[in-house]
Structure formats: structure tokens, C-alpha cells
Amino acid sequence: MKVLVTGGAGYIGSVVASQLLDADHDVVVLDDLSTGHADAVDGRAAFVKGTLREQARPVLASGGFDAVLHFAAKSLVGESVERPDVYWDGNLGETLALLDAMRATGVKKIVFSSTAAVYGEPETVPITEDAPARPGNPYGATKLAIDVALTEFARLNGFGAVSLRYFNVAGAHGALAERHAVETHLIPNVLRAAVTDEPVSVFGSDYSTADGTCVRDYIHVTDLGRAHLLALAVCEPGAHMIYNLGNGAGYSVQEVIEVCRQVTGRPIAAMDAPRRPGDPDVLIASSEAIRADLGWEPVLGLTTMVEDAWREFPR
Ligand code: UDP
């Protein structure tokens, strides 16, 4: 297949682009490099720098595309609370431009990078795809709005769409690792503490969990990436499928820090800090649907995620 990968210079998009190339697909990466890195774009891919509004249509109109894998997005929850306008425009607005370009050029298959943030505070865990979607912040709301738009484009325009709702993505795929200018994620922040000897902040230790810290479902970026190739193969005209992607197992913040201590062999100091607004106690995915429908299985556990992230961690 010939595939357009939006956001292919970012963490997850670059991994999936490289997996597509390994599977002999043709890849064109479109990324405005606002948060991505040009050196993360696989040398075997063609690269176009620009926004979706500027470039999606001319790129798709250049011909031969079978599908779009859509990763380009703004993804900082806190920033989305401060600047919802920027998130609605950057995520929903840019995506509508992409969908319009797809409709105009007859490219109708899309795999979309959605998020567990669409569920907000869950009533029950593990979270299944039919759980109520009540996002707790503009970031999750913009991703949910895109999921709604995809359902409509499937119904009215014959698009074949798959949304993958990621839980906590971690690890590295070869040298492709998380490199965010503003790093909010737990594992890189713990590894930063291993390198700098500054303590890592534990946001809340009075949650309703066994050790009082939040429990999350961590998934290796390589496992996550493989799901996109399976999804691409099942995009069917007129259908929008939605799948959660996680391991189905939860680890607390304290447990993650402990695994990081074991992997790095460094003491890693941790200090209690106030809760981060909007953090639910426990988020664990039910990935039963994608296992049953696509035969996807996660194979890489938390220790491998931390080992791979640590191997690539700047120090
Ligand atoms: N967390 C923390 N210290 C950090 C970063 C994150 O205690 O420096 C906690 C955060 O409050 C949450 C969990 O680790 O309970 C995972 O946070 P992350 O930002 O990695 O992912 P999220 O679950 O918010 O998508």
C-alpha cells in the first residue's frame, strides 16, 4: 500500500512509519515539525513539511494513496486546559481539513490515533469501548470529536476508519524514542531523575489504590505500532471501528519507579507532590475487542519498556 503518515516525525508516528516500511509499504510522512523531529523520519520515507491544511490535499492529489495513518496532533493535557482554542483548531480543525482532502481525492481508508482520555473518569475498569465517553479535558474532547466525525464520514462518505484509543504508551523502537520538549509522561520523568539526581514528583499518594498512587496501563510502542498495521488491513468502506489499546494490566506510579530503579541500577529519589487535576485513580484497558477481531496481542512488558526507554535516554 501507499500510505500517508501524518505526524510521522513524532514518537508514535515515526515508529509506525518504520514498521510500515519494514512491511514493504510506501510511506509519505507529512509533519509540520512543531513537536516532531526531522531526524526521526525514516530515510526510506518521502517527507513533506507542512500542516494538514496546507499540504494534505496537494500531497494526496499527487496520486496513488491507499490510506492515511493520522497521528499529527497536539497532546499536552495541561496545555489543552489553558488553550482549548489551540487544541480545537489544531486537532479537530486540522483533521477536518485532512478528511476533506481525503474525500476530494478519493482516499477513504484512515487509521486514527485516538486516546483513553476520551473516557475521562471511568465508572468501571477495565474500560471497554462501550464505556461512556466523558472526556475531562479539551485534549480528550478534541479526540472524541474526531472519532465522531470519523463515524459520520464512514456512514455518509463510505470511509473505512479505525480509531485506536491508546492507554499509556512507553518504550522505544530501535532508536525511535520519546523526545518531547515538554515532558509530562511518567517513565521519561523517572529516567530524568535517574540521570540528574533530582527527585521525581509523585503526583498524589492518597488515591484509592493499593499503595495510594495512580494505576495506569502501559503499552510498548512496538506492540502499539503493530496494531496499526493490523487495523490498516481491516479498514472497510462504510465502517468505523473503535478499539482500546493497552496491556490490560495496571502498574502504580510507585511500581513504575521501582522497575526504573531495577533497570537503571540507580537509587532514583521520589518526592510526594500534589495531585494533578483530573487524574483518575485507575485507568486500565480492556483490549479484548482488538484481540478478538484483529488477533492483536501485546508481547512486551513494563520491564522491556523501561529497558528500551533507558537505552535511548539522553545522558
Ligand atoms: N506522574 C507522576 N509524576 C510525573 C509524571 C506523571 O506522578 O512526573 C503520574 C501521573 O499523575 C499519572 C501517571 O503518573 O498518575 C501517568 O502519567 P502520564 O502523564 O505518564 O500519563 P497519563 O496517564 O496522564 O496519560
Q: 66: burial class by Cβ within 10 Å (0-12, 13-18, 19+)?
A: middle
Residue nearest to atom 15 of ligand 1 (CA): 214
CA of 128 to the centre of ligand 1 (A): 21
CA of 213 to the centre of ligand 1 (A): 10
Average pLDDT over residues 57-64: 97
CA of 185 to the centre of ligand 1 (A): 5
User: What type of residue sits at position 233?
Assistant: A
Q: Probe ligand 1: pick from 186, 207, 218, 268, max atoms within 8 Å of CB?
A: 186
Pairing of strands 2-6, 240-245: unpaired
What φ, ψ does residue 68 adopt, rounded to 5°? -125, 135
ipTM: 0.98
Please determine, for residue 180, whether its predicted confidence score (pLDDT) is greater than 90: no
Predicted pLDDT of residue 177: 97
* pLDDT, mean over the chain: 97
Asked if residue 189 has its Cβ within 6 Å of ligand 1, the reply is yes
**Sign for the pseudo-dihedral over CA of 244, 3, 72, 202:** positive
Q: Probe ligand 1: pick from 81, 185, 196, max atoms within 8 Å of CB?
A: 185
Residue nearest to atom 4 of ligand 1 (CA): 186
Predicted pLDDT of residue 277: 87
> Model-level pTM greater than 0.90?
yes
Asked if residue 255 has its Cβ within 6 Å of ligand 1, the reply is no
pLDDT band, very low/low/confident/very high, at 172 (cuts 50, 70, 90): very high
pLDDT tens readout for residues 108-130: 999 999 999 999 999 999 999 99
Asked if residue 201 has its Cβ within 6 Å of ligand 1, the reply is yes
pLDDT band, very low/low/confident/very high, at 107 (cuts 50, 70, 90): very high
CA of 111 to the centre of ligand 1 (A): 26
CA distance 116 to 133: 9
The residues facing 271 across adjacent strands are 201
What φ, ψ does residue 187 adopt, rounded to 5°? -60, -50
Average pLDDT over residues 44-63: 98
Q: Which atom of ligand 1 is nearest to the CA of 213?
A: 15
The HSE-up count of residue 260 (CA atoms within 13 Å, CB side) is 27
* Active site residue ranges: 139
Average pLDDT over residues 283-288: 97
